[in-house]
């Protein structure tokens, strides 16, 4: 099968994205995600069988019709969790690179395993990925499980693997009240990242409840309840602590 004919399921497409990677971007929201982050604002992307079926070629042709808009950016795969549809993702990025388009993967890293048969596919994907935006939810494994339903061990190992493979990476960390809003947690993240010289940026994002209406529409209880929304000032303070910890000597 030609790469252009590989099919996948897409929740939606944003044709003028400005926050999902550098420049103006064509952002593809993939369907399906095994994570159940308490603060997820896209619960409508969880079901792998939902969304619209399309081919990698159709998506790329849609982008290329307005290619001049993306001269400063490129294409971003987000979700959901794009790596859940690995064949579709790999086909899309391979076709994009053949056209000289900058590719960005926004991922939780939940599918990474060094000892899995999927590692070869991940290496193939990284070969056609210009930038990875990796969400690190929490440094403490037990709290991470409460926050997302999954361990963080493979996710932190993916961060280390990206460093080993010299893949340009941005780290994203959401500041969530009651979970990731302490200096101890920020310092732990900073110390972990301190030895990585492949990092372009560390982004901290304040928790918001803008996705609450989606839970109501889906008939799902909103896990964060009435937790207070945070501000950019809160995120900036966390970012400052993380960056300071990154500069500490590694023992």
Q: Tens digits of per-residue pLDDT, 207-219?
A: 998 888 889 888 9
Helical H segments across the chain, by residue range: 56-64, 86-98, 119-127, 141-148, 153-164, 183-193, 212-218, 232-246
Domain presence at residue 210: yes
Q: How far is the C-alpha of 144 from the C-alpha of 139, rounded, in Å?
A: 7
Domain presence at residue 203: yes
Cis peptide before 80 (omega within 30 of 0): yes
Q: How many structural domains is the chain composed of?
A: 1
pLDDT at 85 > cutoff 80: yes
Domain presence at residue 227: yes
Domain presence at residue 31: yes
pLDDT of residue 248: 84
Domain presence at residue 159: yes
Which pair of tokens denotes residue 149?
């339903």
CATH code of the domain covering residue 168: 3.20.20.70
pLDDT of residue 250: 61
Domain presence at residue 251: no
Domain presence at residue 211: yes
Q: How far is the C-alpha of 76 from the C-alpha of 165, rounded, in Å?
A: 20
Residue of 186, 100, 116 lying closest to 157 (CA atoms): 116
Calculate the alpha carbon distances from 211 to 95, 136, 221, 225 in Å.
33, 20, 12, 12
pLDDT of residue 210: 81
The greatest distance separating any two alpha carbons of the chain, rounded to the nearest whole angstrom, comes to: 52
Average pLDDT over residues 159-177: 97
Domain range for 158 is 3-246
For 42-66, the pLDDT digits (tens) are: 898 998 889 999 999 999 999 999 9
What's the predicted TM-score (pTM) here? 0.94
């Amino acid at each position: 099968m030609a790469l252009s004919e590989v099919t996948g399921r897409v929740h939606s497409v944003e044709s003028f994205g400005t926050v999902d990677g550098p420049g103006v971007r064509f952002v593809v929201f993939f369907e399906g995600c095994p994570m159940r982050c308490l603060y997820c604002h896209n619960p409508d992307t969880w079901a792998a069988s939902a969304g619209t079926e399309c081919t990698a070629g159709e998506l790329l042709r849609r982008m290329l019709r307005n290619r001049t808009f993306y001269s400063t950016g490129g294409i971003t795969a987000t979700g959901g969790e794009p790596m859940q549809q690995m064949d579709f993702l790999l086909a899309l990025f391979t076709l994009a690179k053949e056209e000289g388009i900058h590719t960005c993967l926004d991922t939780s890293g939940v599918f990474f395993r060094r000892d899995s048969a999927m590692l070869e596919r991940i290496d193939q994907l990284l070969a056609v990925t210009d930038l990875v935006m990796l969400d690190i939810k929490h440094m403490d494994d037990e709290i991470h499980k409460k926050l997302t339903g999954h361990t963080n061990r493979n996710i932190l190992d993916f961060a280390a693997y990206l460093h080993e493979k010299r893949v340009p990476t941005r780290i994203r960390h959401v500041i969530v009240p009651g979970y990731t809003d302490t200096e101890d947690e920020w310092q732990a993240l900073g110390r972990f990242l301190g030895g990585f010289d492949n990092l372009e940026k560390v982004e901290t994002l304040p928790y918001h409840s803008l996705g609450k209406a989606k839970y109501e529409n889906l008939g799902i209880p909103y896990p964060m309840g009435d937790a207070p929304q945070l501000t950019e000032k809160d995120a900036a303070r966390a970012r400052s602590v993380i960056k300071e910890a990154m500069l500490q000597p590694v023992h």
